[in-house]
Amino acid sequence: MLAASMHKDTNGRAAALALAVAAGLVLLAGSAVYLLDRPAGSAWLVPPAWQAATDGRWFGAIGPWLPSFAHAFAFSVFTALVLPRRPGRAAAACVGWAAIDTLAEAGQHAAIAPALAAGLTSAFDGAPLAARIGRYFTQGSFDITDVLAGLAGSGVAYAALRRWWAPSETRFLFR
């Protein structure tokens, strides 16, 4: 029923709202992993006192990679929704967030992280934010499943954007 009403909406407002709500809910689920399943102090944007540290009991097997999927999916959708309504621009938003997530994960690799953190601190004259971002890289750990989850999140976002915005044109990649 909801899908049928979205296809009839010529302005795409209902589809855009549905995508924004879906992206928000997915992002909320990804954020919940940090609150419920991760050890206190493990997320640099979440105060340690907010973290339950239940050692993966809430989200189980999907907990390790869900935040990467959620971040890439949600921000791909949010970015595409603020751009002019063109599949090519939606694709660019999704590819852009896939690249950002991949680079952020690669920056946590043990072979790269120390030099990256030192470079950030040096380039910004030891600014506290630069040091904090540097710690994100040195205290994180590279995981290929996070890369794959980020790529999947951006891919699913693009598929959702194409499906709701141009249901009769889904055979075309760009338009």
pLDDT of the residue at 167: 53
pLDDT of the residue at 5: 43
pLDDT of the residue at 22: 96
**End-to-end Cα spacing for the chain:** 27
Q: What is the DSSP letter of 44?
A: T
Q: Which tokens sit at 163?
A: 């499906």
In this predicted model, what pLDDT tens digit does every residue of 108-141 receive, in sequence order? 999 999 999 999 999 999 898 888 888 889 988 8
pLDDT of the residue at 156: 97
Q: Which tokens sit at 149?
A: 């989850």
Give the C-alpha separation, 118 to 97, whole Å: 25
Q: How many residues does the chain have?
A: 175
pTM (predicted TM-score): 0.82
